[in-house]
Amino acid sequence: MNSYQLPTGSTLLHNPRYNKGTAFTEEERRLFHIEGLLPPVPLDLQRQIARTFIQLDDLATDFQRYRLLNEIRARNETLFYAVVMSDPERFLPIIYTPTVGEACQKFNHFIGSPMGLYLPISAKGRVRDLLSNWPEKDVRFIVVTDGERILGLGDQGTGGMGIPLGKLALYTACGGVPPQTTLPILIDVGTNNLELLHDPLYTGLKQPRVRGQEYDDFIDEFVQAVQEIFPLCCIQWEDFANMHAEPILRRWQHRVCTFNDDMQGTAAVTLAGLYAALRITGGSLKDHKFLFLGAGSAAAGIAELITLALQEEGLSAEDALQKVWMYDASGLLTPERKDLAPFQRRFAHPHHPAQSFLEAIQDLQPTAIIGVSTVPKLFNQDVIRLMARINKRPIIFPLSNPTSRSECSAEEAYRWSDGRAVFASGSPFAPIEIDCQRFAPGQSNNVYIFPALAMAIYATGCRLIPEELFITAAKAVANQVTQEDLDLGRIYPPIKKIYDVSLQAAAAIAEHIFRLGLARTAPPDDLLATIQSLAYKPCYPSLM
């Protein structure tokens, strides 16, 4: 941007995209009329990072650190990303899970500088106008939630804005997506959370959630308005209730560039863990049987992708489905049950009723159990010990978030299986040592998938996102797991390498996009080099 186009004076210091804070040079201070508005001696980005680390270390809790980082993000975007990208292993759990769960719960009491866009259903018929108010005109990615099913915490109303804000920070910090191309959105259709409805500080519509045709029409208006205002934009759906998540995705996935991270991103990262686990257990995917604890939209998304991957290995659709079973609060999914949603019926198989999850394991003899129940400690000692009895290397994936909702901890899985579990969780667990053996448990974190997918979409101008791209993404991540990782029990690459892992995966996904003819651009000679050149890097440009 030419200097004459930039804001000046205090306006520049309040513009997070161009503000450098104390890093403005003496010449820039004179040119943009901010001389005297800052301490006289410039401090470069590296010293700003060091100062931020001191501030963060002085705070007592990760929620306080979350708040400080978001305050920095609101005033100096470059510094925010420079800090986060300097140590992703440290900062990802602060800016997203598990800390973001607490942030969503406290959002209305601690709301800071406005970030993102709110679309209340009271504005129906005017969604296009509200989208037009966003200052950036080349938006490529929207993450949107209606706040109804935030992580494992339920209805958080407008507090759910913490999720799109966090997700899009990861688009940039982990996948190199330029932050100016991203837009977090909260669709406010009311809340059924009585605590919020009675809270005088609640910032959302104080009414019960709108359902039915009125809800569907508002979602349709939103999608259509996005196509008009931001025609190159990809929409990521996040933390919608089961009753809405699957129908919204199916309605739009073959018409616009869109995906549901809870369903498809979770599915892809779980499949990536399974592909890597095969290097420990041996055999191929079709040699395994999968039993889910929980049968919501996340479970269905994982199960659908597993069945597609099984078909890719040569199984028929019917045989692939027989490899996938589900158990929820009402027991095994069987055809006789009258309470099943349409997306669950595919995974309902004839079987006598199991009285417990333990009995289901005994009957079905699964090689892998996958927890998406959001109910903690259901993978108890009896469950883990039984899995270890029937499998030499049992695959144990407690995927529920946040940490307080995990079906078991890493220590429990390793200790109760005598160190033989192939483990991955949805929330992070610290490395542990059991009987002189060190384990570095892997986190089945969607961050391995959606930033890479987004970068591939950005580089290609992808028009649609077919399911097979998620299998490609899963393989691309699994292929970057080293033998050293596997020796520590880690079936995902270390988070500290997430930026490079994402760009490598983005190249594989982009290659597939070009092969399918879904790109708006021509394939470059060197795809990885092109993606690396497009990727955002946090540094201050010269404004002279």
In this chain, the answer to whether the domains covering 3-43 and 264-447 adopt an identical fold is no
Instruction: Tell how strand 432-434 and strand 331-332 pair up.
Output: unpaired
* pLDDT, tens digit, 9 for 90 and up, residues 340-351: 988 899 999 999
The Cα 353–Cα 238 span in angstroms is 34
The Cα 381–Cα 396 span in angstroms is 12
* pLDDT, tens digit, 9 for 90 and up, residues 76-100: 999 999 999 999 999 999 999 889 9
Residue 386: partners with Cβ closer than 8 Å, 6 or more residues away: 358, 361, 362
Indicate the pTM of the whole model. 0.93
* pLDDT, tens digit, 9 for 90 and up, residues 320-341: 999 999 999 999 999 999 999 8
* pLDDT, tens digit, 9 for 90 and up, residues 398-415: 999 878 889 999 999 999
The residues annotated as belonging to the active site are 96, 167
What are the residue boundaries of the structural domains of the chain, listed by start? 3-43, 48-256, 264-447
What is the model's pLDDT at position 111? 77
* Bond into 353 cis (ω within 30): no
pLDDT band of residue 152 (cuts 50, 70, 90) is confident
* pLDDT, tens digit, 9 for 90 and up, residues 252-287: 999 999 999 999 999 999 999 999 999 999 999 999
* pLDDT, tens digit, 9 for 90 and up, residues 56-82: 999 999 999 999 999 999 999 999 999
CATH 1.20.1370.30 given to domain 3-43: yes
Question: Among the CATH numbers 3.30.1490.190, 3.40.50.720, 1.10.10.10, 3.40.50.300, which is that of 264-447?
Answer: 3.40.50.720
What is the model's pLDDT at position 82? 98
pLDDT (average), residues 244-256: 95
Residue 215: partners with Cβ closer than 8 Å, 6 or more residues away: 121, 189, 209, 244
CATH 3.40.50.10380 given to domain 48-256: yes
Residue 403: partners with Cβ closer than 8 Å, 6 or more residues away: 98, 427, 428, 429
Angle at 397 between CA 487 and CA 386, to 5 degrees: 95
What is the model's pLDDT at position 3? 47
Structure tokens at 356: 């417990």
